[in-house]
């Protein structure tokens, strides 16, 4: 299958959130072969929200200028052929749907979550002074929880950048 990707693997940095032991599944290893090995980083830090913020500070903001796109993927994701549209879709922040065990997760066509997402230099430029980039939220009465992805997406949208979602990815034990 010949698909035109929206990014160049050679100028894309991939961060795999690999707590607690850096191990990844065969499906992930296969998918990562799209990218040069030197562009793939394992982020093995406890607390995924802090890990995502650390990755922003150390691996995204400090990336050399030749790196144009960034991919975040959690170690329990299981990318496959149906994930390819995620790399082909236009957008500044692009997510990919995956099973979460909750029926309303993907109700909005543009909502994204950090199990698998990508963003470009425009996002980095707009958000460079906006730490913490990833932050869980609660409703005013404290009864409703919002995952860290919502705060990131809101910052991107507030900057006037395009958010999209495409493709499908497996997710261990949630299918």
Smallest distance, Zn ion to C-beta of residue 174, A: 13
**What is the distance between the alpha carbons of residues 133 and 155, in angstroms, rounded to a whole number?**
8
- What is the C-alpha separation between 162 and 86, in angstroms, rounded? 14
List the beta bridge partners of residue 171. Answer: 77
Q: Which is nearer to Zn ion, 24 or 117 (CB)?
A: 117
Question: Which residues within the stretch 131-160 sit at the binding site for Zn ion (CB under 5 A)?
Answer: 147, 149
The C-alpha atoms of residue 75 and residue 43 are separated, in whole angstroms, by 10
24 or 149, CB closer to Zn ion?
149
In terms of CB distance, is 63 or 94 closer to Zn ion?
94
* Residue 77 contacts residue 171 (beta carbons within 8 Å): yes
Please identify which residue in 13, 113, 118, 165 interacts with Zn ion, judged by CB under 5 A.
Answer: 113
Rounded CA-CA distance 103/1 in Å is 31
Residue with smaller CB distance to Zn ion, 124 or 149 = 149
User: Judged by CB under 5 A, does residue 165 bind Zn ion?
Assistant: no
| Least distance from Zn ion to the Cβ atom of residue 1, Å | 29
- Residues in contact with Zn ion, counted by CB under 5 A, come to a total of 3
- Report cis status (omega within 30 of 0) of the bond before 20: yes
DSSP assigned state of 9? G
Q: Does 116 bind Zn ion (CB under 5 A)?
A: no
In the complex with Zn ion, the residue whose CB is nearer, 44 or 49, is: 49
* Options 54-62, 72-80, 106-114, 162-170: segment touching Zn ion (CB under 5 A): 106-114
CA distance 101 to 52: 22
Q: Supply the minimum distance, in Å, between the C-beta of residue 114 and Zn ion.
A: 6
d(CA 60, CA 65): 10
Kindly list the residues in this chain that would bind Zn ion in the complex (CB under 5 A). 113, 147, 149
């Amino acid at each position: 299958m010949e698909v035109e990707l929206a990014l160049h693997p050679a100028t894309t940095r991939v961060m795999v959130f690999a707590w607690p032991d850096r191990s990844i599944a065969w499906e992930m290893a296969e998918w990562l072969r799209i990218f040069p090995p030197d562009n793939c980083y394992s982020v093995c830090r406890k607390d995924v929200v802090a890990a995502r913020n650390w990755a922003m500070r150390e691996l995204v903001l400090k990336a050399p200028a030749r790196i144009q796109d960034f991919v975040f993927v959690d170690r329990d994701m299981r990318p496959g052929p149906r994930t390819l549209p995620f790399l082909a879709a236009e957008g500044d922040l692009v997510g990919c749907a995956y099973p979460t065990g909750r029926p309303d997760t993907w109700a909005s066509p543009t909502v994204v979550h950090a199990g698998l997402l990508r963003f470009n230099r425009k996002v980095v430029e707009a958000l460079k002074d906006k730490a913490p980039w990833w932050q869980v939220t609660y409703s005013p009465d404290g009864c409703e929880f919002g995952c860290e992805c919502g705060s990131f997406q809101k910052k991107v949208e507030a900057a006037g950048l395009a958010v999209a979602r495409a493709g499908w990815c497996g997710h261990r034990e949630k299918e």
